[in-house]
Structure 1
Amino acid sequence: MTKRVAIIGLDGFDWCIMSGLLNEENLPYLSSVGRRALKGILVSTIPYITPVAWTSMVTGVEPWHHGVYDFFNLEKTEDGTFFRRPVCLTDVKHLTIWDLLSKHDKSSIVIEVPPFYPARKIKGIMISGFPYPKVSAAPLLIKIMVKKMGYRPLSIPQISIITGKNRLKAFKYFKQHAMKLSRIVHWIIEEYYWDFFMTVFIHTDTFHHYAFHKLFQGVKGHKSEEYNIFIEYMKIVDEVIAHVLDVLRPGDLVLLVSDHGNRPITKSILINNILRKGGFLYLKKSLSDIMLILKETFSTSMKNILPLMYFMHKFITIRDKGLRAMRWIDMQRAIAFAYSCVSPSSVIQLMKREYAGYLMNYLLGLEKEGRRLFKNTRIVNDKMIIEAVSGYTIDPHKILHFEDIMPVRERVADHRPEGILIAYMKGRDVNRKHFYKVGICDIAPTTIDFMGISCDIDEMKFDGRSFKHLLLTSL
């Protein structure tokens, strides 16, 4: 009989928080699994961004093999400008775990794993949404039922907007969203047979971004309203763990994983501002473009602010709202520009590949406030992946500004490559003697190996390798 595998993803979860939750009495199933499981660090991709990392996890290959580098893909318009589109299923250029299992007549249930939108027909059930705000499901009957249950995914802008307006209200909304997701999970895994199950709780990353210090203080005993809401959210996750364990047979595998971790940050690096000052990025200067800037600047209602003061503020801090700022970049002269989301590892589009070496040396040589800004760069095709030093994040939104770095405000923590790994075999002992470090690309080959699926490894071309042997108890 085929062993079954269940993967429960907690986006952006860090061991600084998880280590305290494993002793939380209000999370009995998480605590129980944690005490009996193999634990370790799951090393993420470069860049360590949500859709990139989850894609590597379920394909077993690095970004340059599966083709996803960011939350967004750039697409060129007829007039020579660019717009960015959220990544989706068609951007993934490699087989996933459930693709391979379908070929071997094994059933999968895949719920809200980014960025696999829209859902496609597999042997089993697929429900997807994030980073798009519409639910997609296959087969059609499942989509009808999910909509009747009132579930609707949140897009990237929606999460940013509601969190920025009222953090506590947003956290409560995330809890309600998780409750709807858990009801769907409970219904489907009980009613339908499966060999492989995976779901991702996406909002745990947002909790870390905006309340990391509150969460860290909470696990140390200093509880706050933010921490209490977070625990209510995690109770829902705990119920899902309990339900999955109830369905599994002895010897089946449960993996609790995160795509990356989070750590406190203090400063934002205004990367496009730096590129402009360094002569790698230019703004348009035509009258029509200036009129466009004026029109968009004054489109916002003026409340108790002098129009001239407001215009000056907007002009020196041209900010991307839906990437309108990309219309202000002169693409004919630009050598490079950043288009990613805010993250310590980010992506620069190389418009003139021959200048990549100069740009790399320029960025690695930059110093502010007595320290380097960037610790690593990597060139992949027409993209440069950059990584900020510890404590800094990279903000591509501001193009004109007096300073190259700014103190952070609401976003108090941002990504780091070290995620969590908790591996538990129901009813069996596993190796708990060491705290291991494995790669995120190891999850897919481990899943296939554990399930005993015979496949041509060369055909799959995994970059990772199975760690099934680590699960066995050392004598």
Structure 2
Amino acid sequence: MVFNISGPYYCGNICCSLEEKKVRAFILGLDGATFDVFEEWVDAGKLPNFRKLFEESTRGHLITTIPPLTPSAWSSFMTGKNPGKHGVLDFYELDEEMNVKVSYRKARKATTIWKYFSMKGYRVISIHVPFTYPPEPVNGIMISGFLTPSLNSSFIYPPEMRDEFIKNFPDYRFAENTRFSERREDQEAFREEIFENMKLRMKVADYMMEKYPWDLFMVTFMGIDHAQHWYWRFYDKDSPYYDPEGAKSLGDTIFKAYSLIDDYLGDLLARLGEDTYFCIMSDHGFGRFYKQVFVNNWLKERGFIKFKRDVRTLVKRSFYEVGLDTKKISELVFKSGLGKLWAKFSSESKASLASGFGITFKDVDWRRTEAYSFGYFGPVFVNLEGRFPFGSVKHEDYEKVREKIIEAMLELEDPERGKKIVNKVWKKEEIYNGPFVDRFPDVVVAMDDFAYTSSTFPFPSKRLFATPFTYKSGEHRMNGVFIFKGPGVKRNYFIERPSIMDITPTLMQLFRIPIPEDMDGRVLKEIFE
């Protein structure tokens, strides 16, 4: 896949030697950024540095992984491969005993851009890129990102830098300490912490840029993602959760998150100069959120899931019948102001606590169960014999069961809106390929273009539809952001449908790093003059 060209890097028809110029690249990761939201502010002149950047760069809607999830998307960016080749799909996974486990970086089984560059002697610095915990050894510095537990963890490579980092940034945090709730004081506090974290990340990036040498530098901000997840209700008048009173003081939250990046852009681009390749990317887009769909309840209603008949399970089901379920208890926790305390529990601890009073996969009679759902957007696994220790579906019946699930899901309707919500269904082999596909769900769905999600807990409630107890009002979409600027790059050019997997091979080509044949991404040749 490497072009037959001379020189250490390629930029269209421009070939340069090491003596003439040294190539560097800077990637600004904006988790959740979407042109659908901020392009109108650019056009109106409210984000002047973005406007100037548009005129000097190539841009396009970056197509992300299916479904549009942070772990799979960032992993596909870092590896240039589809999830079937790197093994990461969701925030959580189930072990062989059906216990919920957090997916960390070690679940990814493919070489990353950081490693490719390091192996060729290039110096890399990576700051807060999601799904990099624990940090991998690199020729440079890596500060892990989203899902890093705290400063007490092994968050930095090389580990000898830990004391220096904490000394200079003692208040650094990987996520907000406060939690959004229905209380206005929590909404205001969460908003301020989003902005504080963004500013702190900028200080860290500036410090690392100035003090340490680098050839490839990346810093990622989660602030836009978090603002859109929780403050969409104050921004979008057509949102089912629109809050006109709150919009008076909080309606500009999303704009301010983009504006903070715009302010940073001006100084950053001036320091990088014209000879540095500069890329802005996001892992997915955003749109309004509607509801949670508890897909396992739907599967149970249609006979795909069967419960055990023991006393423990029968008692739990009786609690659900009177409204004492996982979702109700979670709502009470958040409304009582204990959200901060709940947030300190690990996902495994939350799952363990929930299993004590909530219906979980431990209550399922697997020998009589044909399928189950597990995942953020409600994908479905066929309980295939041989694939799972508890498998019940024979191989000759696999396709028949899967087709039955797909046919039924296409009829799933939100009664409150009076519309069918499943607008796209994929069989896993239609969107994934590679050695890890067998572990992936057999049916992947888009419910109203991902405006509906499911739940990590298998049976949070006896209901099928519910409002989220996390108070989210915005949710992921497929179209992220791609902006690319540098020597020989087309100016004010719009590229059609670049993939999130294309960024790594394009950068590797610029640095004359051989591109493995099994990479799914391609070099974006058309963005160069």
Q: TM-score range by the shorter chain?
A: 0.7 to 0.9
Which runs of no fewer than 5 residues in structure 1 stay unpaired?
Answer: 298-309
1:454 aligns with 2:513: yes
If the length of structure 2 is used for normalisation, what is the TM-score? 0.75
- Residues 289-308 of structure 1, C-alpha deviation per residue, up to 9 Å, x if partnerless? 455778xx7xxxxxxxxxxx
2:234 aligned with 1:200: no
CA shift in 2, pair 1:17/1:367, >3 Å: closer
Contact 1:182 1:236 in 2 (8 A): no
**Deviations 1:150-197 (Å, cap 9, x if unpaired)?**
212128xx78x4456633321111111122211111100111111111
3-state DSSP of counterpart to 2:452 = strand
Task: Identify the match of residue 314 of structure 1 among 286, 303, 324.
Answer: 324
Paired amino acid for 2:187: R
Instruction: Call closer, same or farther: CA 1:400–1:442 in 2, change over 3 Å.
Output: closer
Q: Secondary structure of the residue that 2:261 maps to in structure 1?
A: helix
Judging changes above 3 Å, is the alpha-carbon distance between structure 1 residues 98 and 331 closer, same or farther for their aligned structure 2 residues?
A: farther
Correspondent of 1:441 among 475, 491, 501: 501
Partner of 2:370: 335
Q: Look up the equivalent residue of 1:154 and give its one-letter code.
A: A
Contact 2:116 2:513 in 1 (8 A): no
Indicate which of 345, 348, 365 corresponds to 2:380. 348
Q: Does 1:103 align with 2:119?
A: yes
Displacement after TM superposition at 1:94 (Å): 0.9
Q: 1:115 to 1:433 in 2, by over 3 A?
A: closer
Q: Is the 8 A contact 1:83 1:326 kept in 2?
A: no
Tell whether 2:135 aligns with 1:119: yes
* Distance in 2 (alpha carbons) for counterparts of 1:288 and 1:112: 43
The residue correspondences of 1:240-251 to structure 2 (distance < 5 A) are 240-251=264-275
The residue type paired with residue 371 of structure 1 is K
SS in 1 for 2:125: strand
Q: Counterpart amino acid of 2:261?
A: V
Tell me if 1:133 matches 2:126.
Answer: no
Q: Secondary structure at the match of 1:57?
A: helix
* 2:3 alignment counterpart: none
Query: 5+ residue gaps in structure 2?
Result: 1-20, 238-243, 331-346, 385-392, 429-436
Check whether the contact 1:266–1:391 (CA below 8 A) recurs between aligned residues: no
Change (3 A) 1:62 1:164: farther
Instruction: Verify the 8 A CA contact 1:21 1:31 in the aligned structure 2.
Output: no
Query: Whole-Å Cα distance in 2 between the matches of residues 433 and 242 of structure 1?
Result: 20
- CA distance change for structure 1 residues 123 and 239 in 2, over 3 Å: closer, same or farther? farther
Is residue 326 of structure 1 aligned with residue 376 of structure 2? no
* Matching residue of 2:438: 381
- Change in Cα spacing, 1:83 to 1:167, as seen in structure 2 (3 Å) is farther
1:430 aligns with 2:490: yes
TM-score by length of 1: 0.82
Higher strand share: 1
- Tell me: CA distance 1:94–1:63, structure 2 relative to 1, closer, same or farther (3 Å): same
1:35 paired to 2:55: yes
Task: Give RMSD over aligned pairs.
Answer: 3.1
Give the whole-Å Cα distance in 1 for the aligned partners of 2:232 and 2:406: 32
Q: Deviations over 1:29-87 (max 9, x none)?
A: 333213322121101111110111111111111111110010112113xxx4x222221
Shift of 1:433: 4.1
Q: Is the 8 A contact 1:263 1:414 kept in 2?
A: yes
Aligned to 1:287: 311
Q: Find the aligned partners of 2:260 and 2:160 in 1 and give their Cα distance.
A: 26
Q: Residue 113 of structure 1: CA displacement?
A: 1.1
Mapping for residues 143-292 of structure 1, pairs under 5 Å: 143-148=162-167, 149=169, 150-154=171-175, 161-162=179-180, 166-212=186-232, 214-215=234-235, 224-290=248-314
Contact 1:366 1:374 in 2 (8 A): no
Q: 1: distance between equivalents of 2:196 and 2:233?
A: 23
Compared with structure 1, are the counterparts of its residues 470 and 112 closer, same or farther at alpha carbon in structure 2 (3 Å cutoff)? same
Q: Distance in 1 between matches of 2:145 and 2:372?
A: 29
Which of 456, 459, 471 is 2:528 aligned to? 471
CA contact (8 A) 2:59 2:493 kept: no
CA distance in 1, matches of 2:28, 2:74: 12
Kept in 1: contact 2:410–2:422 (CA 8 A):
yes
Matched residues in 1 for 2:181 and 2:290: separation?
A: 19
Query: In the aligned structure 1, how far is the partner of 2:143 from the partner of 2:327?
Result: 40
Q: Following TM superposition, where does structure 1 have runs of at least 4 consecutive aligned residues deviating by more than 6 angstroms? A: 318-321
1:121-177 CA-to-partner distances (Å, cap 9, x unmatched) read 20010000312322400112332233331212128xx78x44566333211111111
Counterparts of 1:454 and 1:151 in 2: how far apart (Å)?
34
Q: 1:456 to 1:56 in 2, by over 3 A?
A: closer
Secondary structure of the corresponding residue to residue 112 of structure 1: strand
Q: Cα gap change, 1:83/1:21 in structure 2, threshold over 3 Å: closer, same or farther?
A: farther
In the TM superposition, what whole-angstrom CA distance separates every residue of 1:279-333 from its partner, at most 9, and x where no partner exists? 2223333223455778xx7xxxxxxxxxxxx981224967888333435531524
Greater shift, 111-120 or 258-267, is seen at 258-267
Higher mean displacement: 88-97 or 17-26: 17-26
Helix, strand or coil for the counterpart of 2:453?
A: strand
- Residue identity matched to 2:472: R
Of 244-253 and 65-74, deviating more is: 244-253
Cα displacement string for residues 84-136 of structure 1 (whole angstroms, at most 9, x for unaligned residues): 22211111111111110011100111111111110122001000031232240
Q: Is the 8 A contact 1:340 1:347 kept in 2?
A: yes
Distance of 1:240 and 1:329 partners within structure 2 = 51
Aligned equivalent of 1:364, options 387, 405, 410 = 410
1:338 Cα shift? 2.4
Report sequence identity in percent. Answer: 21
Q: 1:302: which partner in 2?
A: none
Equivalent residue of 1:238, what SS? helix
SS in 2 for 1:152: coil
